[in-house]
Amino acid sequence: MNKQPLGVLARTLAATAALTAFGLAGSAHAQQGQPLDFAKLEMKTTKLADNLYVVEAAPGVGNVVFLNGPDGILMVDSMFPQLHDKLVAAIRATGATGPIRYIINTHLHGDHTAGNGLFAKDGTVVIAQDNVRQRMLAKKPDGTPAFPPANVPMVTYATTMTLHFDGEDIEISHPPAAHTDGDSIVYFKKANVMQVGDLPASLRFNNIGVDDGGSVDGMIADGKLVMKMANAQTKIVPGHLGPVVGFKEITIQDTMFQTVRDRIAKMIKEGKTLDQAIAAEPTKDFNEGRLSGNITPARWVTLIYTDLSRRMKK
């Protein structure tokens, strides 16, 4: 897998995303990692503030934050359709009985959006940044939709949007392209809880959506931006793992991103190939302490090499 040329990697990722997004497989690979056995996954719910919770299923499944109150329920991201019933049961288990009125998607990837359709069918309004909708409406080369039409957000925004719901002010903002070009940061201002999707926050090798407008430099910039928008007390919920991190984790990620980025940029300048860059193990001194995730060091190097070599050619 490490030696795949980019085209093959991109196609594998696209095929995997399509498979999981359409929910065709009983078990699926989320972002090319360990297979997810949906039947075996259990939901774990953590309380973040009054009526605000985060639900986790597995490292390869996007964390879901939800707010409950007199206006109903608002969720951030929607996991996979195979987990729909378990996710709803986890929400109801907290005593939340109202309608699920909104889902805010942090970005387009299937591990965060594939569950949208089943909620939308019951009347939930799905919200995301403009580029999420644009990319989800795109057609694959064979003319079929890139994502199931039922999962496409129906309300979009360009730069910022605020929802006033359940007595909370929920500020949604679009940072410069990082993980993708449709990322949203969702800030529950009163509770001081922020869901940052797949921006670098948890201590893992993050996926970088190099074919979805994302870039390693964007990831580095947005890690810093999150620390400007938040404060030291903010409970920061990453898209995976955590479920809560702070500036310490983001700072560690930032150091890793910058160091590995510079090492790979140097190798590209020296004319090293992708295989040579992988063999040089530029993440070696950061491997220890990385949490389990779907991105191996070799794959992470591939993503950064791909992104940088495209940009450095220009």
Question: Where do contacts with Zn ion occur on this chain (CB under 5 A)?
Answer: 62, 109, 111, 198, 239
User: What's the chain's length in residues?
Assistant: 314
Least distance CB 13 / Zn ion (angstroms): 11
Nearer to Zn ion, 51 or 202 (CB): 202
Contact 250, 201 (CB under 8 A): yes
The rounded distance, in Å, linking the Cα atoms of 179 and 169 is 25
Nearer to Zn ion, 51 or 195 (CB): 195
The rounded distance, in Å, linking the Cα atoms of 162 and 37 is 36
The rounded distance, in Å, linking the Cα atoms of 22 and 142 is 16
Nearer to Zn ion, 118 or 201 (CB): 201
Least distance CB 76 / Zn ion (angstroms): 12
Token pair for 94: 């907290």
Nearer to Zn ion, 226 or 267 (CB): 226
The Cα-based distances of 297 to 167, 200, 286, 303 in angstroms read: 43, 15, 9, 10
Nearer to Zn ion, 91 or 196 (CB): 196
The rounded distance, in Å, linking the Cα atoms of 171 and 224 is 18
Q: What are phi and psi of 86, to 5 degrees?
A: -70, -35
Across 209-270, the runs of DSSP E, i.e. the strands, are 235-237
Query: CB nearest Zn ion: which residue?
Result: 109
Least distance CB 180 / Zn ion (angstroms): 7
Token pair for 49: 């503030």
Token pair for 211: 């074919």
Nearer to Zn ion, 62 or 117 (CB): 62
Least distance CB 31 / Zn ion (angstroms): 7
Least distance CB 105 / Zn ion (angstroms): 10
Q: Which amino acid is at 157?
A: Y
Least distance CB 177 / Zn ion (angstroms): 13
